[in-house]
Amino acid sequence: MKTFPMFLQMQGRRVIIAGGGEQAAQKCRLILKTDAAITVLAPSLDPELADLHAQGRIVWQSGPICPTAFEGAALVFVATGCCATDACLHMLAKSAGATVNVVDQPHLCDALTPSIVDRSPVVVAIGTEGTAPVLARQIKTRLEDMLEPRLGDLAAVAGRLRDRAHARLAPRMRRDLWRWVFAGPVRDTHARGGERAAAQMIKQAIDTATFGAETVGSVALVGAGPGAKDLITLRGVQRLQEADVIFYDRLIDPDILDLARRDAERVYVGKAPGCHHWPQEKISGVLVAAALQGKRVVRLKCGDPGVFARGAEEADALKAAGIPLEIVPGVTAASAASASLGGFLTERGTCDTLVLATGQSETVGKSHTWIRTLQPGTRVAVYMGVGSAAAIAKGLVDAGLQDQISIDIVSHAQQNDEVIAKCCASTLVQTIKANAISNPAILFLTWAQAVAREKQVDRVVHLG
């Protein structure tokens, strides 16, 4: 971000608007929604501003403008409509140490005016750092449709009852209460016009501590996708925002954790191949322990929790302890890698069988038995296969498949350091070394049907 979004306290503070025409009036309308004291600096005022002055809603200063006019202002808007005049006023305001916004001149702005969705005290600000104001307005329009007109009134009721809830409920129960208020029958009742009934429902819930809150903790096994922040599912984001504690893997993009609640506890349980700082049994144990404390737990796993992620072991431990469990699927690495190649995991007439395999296995002698599944029309996606590339290449050669199989390699799929390479069995190891490919990586071994037919025709012609 080049700009940092922040809401300024405006009650009792001065805002200076330099200009007396339509641009100044637009800024005045905006600031009048706050509790700021507005001073307009201009030799004359248009009818709208003159009327506001007559009503005593703004202060008007028509004399010469000097730096002292801007001293102590929380914010200054320069909006005369003349670029040269605006630039001069900008210099005067800056010499007084003011934070300045110059209309339609982003390069002179300390602060940019966002598009605003006003459901006060709920306020949503949308900014594009001055690059695309039309896009900001389009987003604003969508949000206006999403948020019911009187949502701010419900938020205000909740604000007035926060102390009451704080005195009667523990922190976890308070979070459950407000989640119930804003995502359940209370909000629906309020949106239908039942303001009094909604308020009474909240009061009763606080006093009786009955509002559907969970009495025991729960665990969600959430797939974070292949790494990129924008490839996690909406349900995954929702679970992150609800979590009290998040246990996350080594390969999780740190940006994904920014989607979680700020006060959620984050615990790194990364496991590197050959260097298991957190054994699987320990991870399963801490998930159970946290849930038994009544916490809402997220186990955040790279890719999909059901594909080579040892999710079943964690699920078994949770079920044995009677812990409620939810599995939130994610985009698995094979899907992301295939998209990076600009292709598809299956293709009609070319590849109609897909096998997901791993380059690592705890079963002795069983690591690469999937090679036997290769036949025309088959694609095998090998997860974490870089370390066993030599064994895979040898297995293909020993099976007589070195000429039939094409190999695509995608490392760190859909991430900034993504690497893509193509080779055959005889050059697999050299290709990995030459391109400095490392895990996480997917190896696609494909025996396309079309290729198989070509080989057969070539063979017939040769023998003939």
Percentage of the chain with pLDDT > 70?
93
Residue whose tokens read 């985009």: 331
Band of the pLDDT at 452, cuts 50, 70, 90?
Answer: very low
Same domain as 136, residue 96: yes
The pLDDT value recorded for residue 215 is 56
Q: Is 252 inside any structural domain?
A: yes
The pLDDT value recorded for residue 2 is 86
Per-residue pLDDT of 252-294, as tens digits, reads 888 899 999 888 999 998 765 555 568 889 999 999 999 988 8
The pLDDT value recorded for residue 212 is 65
Using CA atoms, how far apart are residues 401 and 364, in angstroms rounded to an integer? 23
Q: Which two tokens stand for residue 157?
A: 């009721």
pTM for the complete prediction? 0.61
Q: Are 374 and 447 in contact (CB under 8 A)?
A: yes
Same domain as 66, residue 114: yes
What CATH number should be reported for the domain holding residue 391?
A: 3.30.950.10
Q: Is 2 inside any structural domain?
A: no
Q: Is 7 inside any structural domain?
A: no
User: Which residues does the annotation mark as catalytic?
Assistant: 249, 271
Last residue of a domain, one of 330, 351, 367: 330
Q: Which two tokens stand for residue 416?
A: 């900034």
Q: Is 463 inside any structural domain?
A: no
Give me the helices (H) in 55-194, please.
83-95, 133-146, 151-160, 162-168, 171-183, 185-191
The pLDDT value recorded for residue 413 is 92
The pLDDT value recorded for residue 233 is 92
Band of the pLDDT at 361, cuts 50, 70, 90?
Answer: low
Last residue of a domain, one of 270, 303, 330: 330
Q: Is 459 inside any structural domain?
A: no
Per-residue pLDDT at 455 exceeds 80: no
Same domain as 326, residue 271: yes
The pLDDT value recorded for residue 460 is 33
Same domain as 341, residue 326: no
The pLDDT value recorded for residue 238 is 86
Per-residue pLDDT of 29-83, as tens digits, reads 999 999 999 999 999 999 999 999 999 999 999 999 999 999 999 999 999 999 9
Same domain as 396, residue 273: no
Q: Is 9 inside any structural domain?
A: no
Per-residue pLDDT at 381 exceeds 90: yes
Same domain as 169, residue 133: no
Q: Is 460 inside any structural domain?
A: no
Percentage of the chain with pLDDT > 90?
65
Same domain as 29, residue 133: yes
Same domain as 239, residue 311: yes
Using CA atoms, how far apart are residues 198 and 192, in angstroms rounded to an integer? 10
Per-residue pLDDT at 95 exceeds 90: yes
Average confidence (pLDDT) over 208-236: 84
Note down the domain range covering 385. Answer: 335-454
Q: Are 95 and 67 in contact (CB under 8 A)?
A: yes
Could you give the number of structural domains in the chain? 4
Per-residue pLDDT at 84 exceeds 60: yes
Per-residue pLDDT of 297-331, as tens digits, reads 999 999 999 999 889 999 999 999 999 899 999 99
Mutual angle of helices 47-54 and 22-31, in 10-degree steps: 40
Same domain as 394, residue 423: yes
Q: Is 6 inside any structural domain?
A: no
Q: Which two tokens stand for residue 443?
A: 């190896």
Return the DSSP state at 341. T
Same domain as 323, residue 376: no
Band of the pLDDT at 364, cuts 50, 70, 90?
Answer: very low
419: enclosing H helix or E strand? strand 419-423
Average confidence (pLDDT) over 222-239: 90
Same domain as 136, residue 32: yes
Per-residue pLDDT at 214 exceeds 50: yes
The pLDDT value recorded for residue 342 is 94
Residue 288: CB partners within 8 Å, gap ≥ 6?
317, 318, 321, 323
Per-residue pLDDT of 147-206, as tens digits, reads 999 999 999 999 999 999 999 998 888 988 998 899 888 988 898 788 998 999 999 999
Same domain as 254, residue 298: yes
Per-residue pLDDT at 112 exceeds 80: yes
Identify the burial level of 70 via C-beta atoms within 10 angstroms of its C-beta, where 0-12 means exposed, 13-18 middle and 19 or more buried: buried
**Mean of all residue pLDDT scores within the chain:** 88
Last residue of a domain, one of 146, 163, 194: 146
The pLDDT value recorded for residue 101 is 96
What CATH number should be reported for the domain holding residue 300?
A: 3.40.1010.10
Per-residue pLDDT of 12-40, as tens digits, reads 899 999 999 999 999 999 999 999 999 99
The pLDDT value recorded for residue 216 is 66
| Angstrom distances, CA of residue 45 to CA of 61, 71, 80 | 10, 22, 11
The pLDDT value recorded for residue 270 is 77
Average confidence (pLDDT) over 402-408: 91
Average confidence (pLDDT) over 129-135: 89
Average confidence (pLDDT) over 389-410: 92
